[in-house]
């Protein structure tokens, strides 16, 4: 007969906290990039992408300044029955058909930001 080393009795089981959903994890990574002064696409592209020196502030979505929404490189891409806003700077091959590489209009502009020119 073996005796237990420690008699712990009945211990309540502690459930681990639920794992955040992929969308929530992506938003957390993007927010961390903004907090470091990086563009949110840096989370998907896996390399540093600094914000433009004239970028709009990260904590005020209505403030004036350079944003992805007023950038020449932000394009609407059709895929099946949906349309997605993607950054076309340098024809980034990292752009996917998923939300991880969507360019949100309110995001502060990256260092490659070019003001949108009015089409004639």
- The pLDDT score that the predictor gives to residue 78 is 86
Confidence of residue 40 (pLDDT cuts 50, 70, 90): very high
Share above pLDDT 90 across residues of the chain, in percent, rounded to a whole number: 51
Residue 64 lies in a domain: yes
Does position 4 have pLDDT exceeding 70, yes or no?
no
- Residue 68: the pLDDT is 94
DSSP 8-state code for residue 19: P
Within a domain: 8: no
Q: Which range of residues forms the domain containing residue 95?
A: 23-101
Q: What is d(CA 12, CA 32) in angstroms, rounded to the nearest whole number?
A: 35
Residue 7 lies in a domain: no
When pLDDT is averaged across residues 64-85 and rounded to a whole number, the result is 90
Q: What is the pLDDT of residue 1?
A: 62
Residue 112 forms part of a structural domain:
no
- Overall domain count for the chain: 1
């Amino acid at each position: 007969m073996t005796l237990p080393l420690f008699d712990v009795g009945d211990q309540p089981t502690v459930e681990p906290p639920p794992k955040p959903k992929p969308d929530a994890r992506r938003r957390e990574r993007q927010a961390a990039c903004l907090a470091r002064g990086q563009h949110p696409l840096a989370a998907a592209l896996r390399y540093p992408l600094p914000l433009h020196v004239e970028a709009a502030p990260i904590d005020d979505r209505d403030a004036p300044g350079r944003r992805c929404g007023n950038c020449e490189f932000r394009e609407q891409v059709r895929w099946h029955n949906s349309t997605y806003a993607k950054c076309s700077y340098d024809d980034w091959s990292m752009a996917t058909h998923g939300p991880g590489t969507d360019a949100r209009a309110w995001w502060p502009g990256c260092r490659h930001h070019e003001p949108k020119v009015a089409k004639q």
